Amino acid sequence: MQKFAIVAFAGLTALAVQAAGATEPVRLAFVDPLSGPLASSGQLGLNHYRFAADEINAKGGVLGGRKLEIVPFDSKASPQEAILILKRLADEGFHFVSQGNSSAVAAAIVDAVDKNNARDPAKTMVYLNYSAVDPALTNDKCSYWHFRFDSEVDMKTAAMTEFMARNAALKKVYLINQDYSFGRAVGEASRKMLGQKRADIEIVGDEYHPLVKIKDFAPYIAKIKASGAQAVMTGNFGADLTLLVKAAKDAGLEVDWYTYYSSLLGAVTAIGDAGVDRVYELTEWHENIDNPELSAFADAYKAQLKDDWRYMRVRTMLNMFAQALDKAGSDDPRKVAAALDNATYKSPLGDVVMQAENHQLLQPQYVTVLARGGKHDLEGTGIGRKTVAAFTAGQTELPTTCKMKRPD
């Protein structure tokens, strides 16, 4: 049903666009799961896109008065579905596509965009990635048409393990991750980097569980307990994280958690006070960073959507997109891609850079821990995050194996 609605909607916008001429909006296709088990993640992303685009539009839009328009498509978290959508987007004249949930889908889109652009330059597409963080996408499988605005797994893990290594009392760590490309990348990076930084830390468990299929994590919690782990490190997100911490709380498991997505979708509500001083998260922004511009922005989102603002990188991305459109002076995707290549953007938290050699954004990263008593909280729990370590954009840079093929 929703699909028909979207098609009809897209069709209507296409008509409206023809009538409106030069004031037509610049369309960005948002392709993410809007049904199925990951729907809540997709919907969260869509809300963020729309709100950040509204902010840009309220300030006068792009290219001298044109609006940014976010057009949603349901990928159902399936690479096949995403490729079908991409074909349709090319036919309907979309030049800019964005996605974030699932690195498997991201890899399929990178591949399809590359082929599409080689086959039909008139229908060139540029892919803006806000969340799919498999390192391969900016290394072996890198593409000129793909721009990543979230730090990839190796960068995140490098920062997180750097922070963990400072804790001399930490001796036993349990790794648990989702069994697919992203989870595997987290698990392998964690094991390797912990080993390099602190050979004395023992990896007492290295678990991969099926993606979004486990409803009862109690057996895994029993195993973590039996391993004697002091800390659990996980890249889990969505239901896989919420159910994991919920089961840990029910079982009274007392360990530290090193995570990348624990501020999302009810995880803080689920874990509550059991997570205070115990749940660490690596993030590009959090609600208690003292920056008036971003705080006002996040507060406005909360007032409008009755939910917390989470992905500051979405705002960064859309602002860089707008900046690139203005610099290119047109919505020609080839010119916009050239303008994004090596672009610098003055974010309220400092300059961020789109690396030319692999199109990976370098941005500041923060290690946070859940705490009570901060100015802002998450999900109305009274519990929010506070910074325990900060890394500058430059400190997160890693060497890349990308050999980028640039267009002539």
Partner 1 sequence: MTGLLALSLLNGLAYGLLLFLLSSGLTLIFSMMGVLNFAHASFYMLGAYLAYQISQVTGFWVGLVLAPLAVAALGALVERYGLRQVHRHGHVAELLFTFGLAFLIEEIVQLVWGRAAVEFPLPAPLREPLFMLGGIAYPVYRVFMMAVAVGCFLALLALLKRTRVGLVVQAALTHPRMVGMLGHNVPLVFMSVFAVGAGLAGLAGVIGGSALVTEPAMARELGPIVFVVVVVGGLGSIGGAFIASLAIGVLQTLAIGFDVPLGDALASLGVATSKSGNLAELWSVTLAQIAPLLPYLLLILVLIVRPRGIAGRRDL
- List contacts with partner 1 (CB under 8 A): 1, 34-37, 39-40, 43, 179, 207-210, 213-216, 218-223, 225-226, 239, 242-243, 250-253, 265-266, 269
Q: Report how far residue 1's alpha carbon sits from residue 11's, in angstroms, rounded to the nearest whole number.
A: 15
Nearest to 283 by CA among 386, 379, 170: 386
Shortest reach from residue 213's CB to partner 1, in Å: 6
State residue 378 phi and psi, 5-degree precision: -110, 135
Tell me phi and psi for residue 202, to 5 degrees. -95, 130
Query: Which residue reads 């290690």 in tokens?
Result: 367
CB of 44 to partner 1, least distance (A): 9
Closest CB 191 distance from partner 1, rounded Å: 15
- 11 to each of 46, 68, 86, 126, 249, how far by Cα in Å? 20, 17, 16, 21, 48
Q: Is residue 20 within 8 Å of 262, Cβ to Cβ?
A: no
* Run of H or E including 354: strand 350-354
Q: Toward partner 1, which CB reaches closer, 176 or 354?
A: 176
Rounded Cα gap, residues 244 and 249, in angstroms: 9
CB of 216 to partner 1, least distance (A): 6
- 39-58 and 292-305 helices, crossing angle to 10°: 120
Q: Which is nearer to partner 1, 160 or 176 (CB)?
A: 176
Nearby residues of 287 by Cβ (< 8 Å), 6 or more positions away: 295, 298, 308, 309, 374, 376, 377, 378, 384, 385
39 or 165: CB nearest partner 1? 39
Measured from the CB atom, is 14 or 208 closer to partner 1?
A: 208
Q: What token pair was written down for 61?
A: 């839009």
Comparing CB distances to partner 1, the nearer of 189 and 270 is: 270
CB of 71 to partner 1, least distance (A): 18
Shorter beta-carbon distance to partner 1: residue 172 or 197: 172
Q: For the CB of residue 254, give the shortest distance to partner 1 in the complex, in Å.
A: 9
Q: Whose Cβ is closer to partner 1: residue 37's or residue 374's?
A: 37
Smallest gap from residue 6 Cβ to partner 1 (A): 14
Q: Taking the complex as a whole, how short is the minimal distance between the CB of residue 101 and partner 1, in angstroms?
A: 13
* Cβ distance to partner 1 smaller for residue 228 or 373: 228
CB burial string 102-141: b at 16+ within 10 A, e below: bbbbbbbbbbbbbebbeeeeebbbbbbbbbbbbbbbbbeb
Tell how strand 202-209 and strand 26-32 pair up.
unpaired
Asked if 169 and 148 count as a contact pair (C-beta separation under 8 A), the reply is no
